[in-house]
Amino acid sequence: MLLQGVRRVRRVQATVMLGTAHHWLPFTQMNAPEAHLRRFVRGEGSWLYDENGARVFDAVSSIWTTIHGHCHPRISEAIAKQAHVLDHATALGASNPVAESLAARLCALTGMQHAIFASDGASAVETAVKIALQYWQNIGQPRRTRIVRLNNSYHGDTVGAMSCSNIALFNERFAAITFETYELGSVDLASDDIAAVIVEPLVQAAAGMRTVSRHRYEMLAGMTPLLICDEIATGFGRTGTMFAFEQAPIRPDLLVLGKGITGGALALSATLATDRVYEAFLGEYLEFKHLFHGHSYAGNPIACAAALASLALFDEEHTIVASLSLSACIRRRLDSLRLHALVRDVRAVGTMVGIELHAERIEPRGSLTPAWRIADGLYRAGHFMRPIGDVIQFVPPLCSREEQIDAFFDALVAELGP
């Protein structure tokens, strides 16, 4: 018995040593050696530290989440303080002051009037889509069920969010369970069966930082269906304004926020609505007009406290000004990169950058695609970047310093060669 116990303990220890043996990484081939190469044990500012003691620049803001830097003391302290007061209480039929303060603050910042919370971005997109459908039912137009989206759209990986997305590589395996959505421009927006149009303002991040011209949004002005703006990737200063929709000729009926909402520290997302939308859900209980959607951790006070601290930092650390000066620095570096023989296209809005490679001109190495080969070289040079297809993406934390931006581009140019 004792021996068995010892063996079991050894097995557990061996498993712990294996690292990713039990941790299944999203969008990652676990069979490839690369999947096991990067294990981060600490973060500070724009730096991540791996288990081998290497310090790398987080050139993708941990997939567009980190704003003020990792483990910002102001946010960490807000989290710790709130964790001692109220960790969680359901928002189903109950409220808490932290979620209320955050809802009010987000509404003041965006011009919206109501906020309902969830955890991940995709959940907030699901919320928005379901609000749109129920809105039309509540006001007596149940025929309105169709959703219109942009080409190359991406709104997340749950079934509803995926249905609103049209990046074939992500969706095609799941066609059997997604519903049909329609590309903007291919349907008449005056048609009485359209519930909502969902757009990413200015940048389609997951499509490889594709930029969408402001004119593309002009046809949305004054239309009848609801407009859902997905600012999960673009929100919180990345494009040079707090929200990208401020730079486009659009005003959302529903606004979806996530990722950077807590400064990148905790999972939190929000779907914001106007009075027009919200009021359609009011009525007598037995009319069942109230929203039939919600998540267990909606309005979690710890996550909301982190978000409030992050928003305070925007004022205290002048984050938007910092974002604008980082963009200017990035633009300078991109000008020369555009001329490089291995670069097919360069796209940028504010601090969201995609550098598309002429992949066919770059030798693959082993199982590594050309872009992953560059990513590996960058990692060795101290920069953590995950490519999107053939696109090198660069989305630095907004607290980054200009010398860190320069160091990334120096390393990229060195990796690409003359």
* Spatial separation of the C-alpha atoms in residues 142 and 132, rounded to whole Å: 11
* Spatial separation of the C-alpha atoms in residues 186 and 57, rounded to whole Å: 42
Verify binding: residue 208, ligand PLP, rule CB under 6 A. no
Nearer to ligand PLP, 162 or 280 (CB): 162
Of the residues 205, 308, 311, 349, which one makes contact with ligand PLP according to CB under 6 A: 205
Of the residues 58, 200, 390, 415, which one makes contact with ligand PLP according to CB under 6 A: 200
Interface characters, 38-77, with ligand PLP (x: CB under 6 A): ----------------------------------------
Of the residues 121, 208, 354, 387, which one makes contact with ligand PLP according to CB under 6 A: 121
Verify binding: residue 350, ligand PLP, rule CB under 6 A. no
The dihedrals phi and psi of 118, each to the nearest 5 degrees, come to -145, -160
Asked if 236 and 67 touch (Cβ cutoff 8 Å), the reply is: yes
Question: Which position's Cβ is nearest ligand PLP?
Answer: 121
Verify binding: residue 118, ligand PLP, rule CB under 6 A. no
Verify binding: residue 120, ligand PLP, rule CB under 6 A. yes
The dihedrals phi and psi of 176, each to the nearest 5 degrees, come to -65, -25
Nearer to ligand PLP, 297 or 409 (CB): 297
* Spatial separation of the C-alpha atoms in residues 418 and 411, rounded to whole Å: 12
Q: How far is the CB of 155 from ligand PLP (least distance, A)?
A: 5
Burial class (CB in 10 A: 0-12, 13-18, 19+), 413: middle
Verify binding: residue 154, ligand PLP, rule CB under 6 A. yes
Verify binding: residue 378, ligand PLP, rule CB under 6 A. no
CA angle at residue 204 from 199 to 210, to 5 degrees? 130
Q: DSSP strand E in 209-341: where?
A: 210-211, 226-230, 254-257, 269-273
Whether the CA torsion 298, 80, 242, 347 is positive or negative: it is negative
Interface characters, 224-253, with ligand PLP (x: CB under 6 A): ------x-xx--------------------
Tell me the pairing of strands 55-58 and 47-50.
Answer: antiparallel
- Residues forming the site for ligand PLP (CB under 6 A): 120-122, 125, 154-156, 200, 205-206, 230, 232-233, 258-259
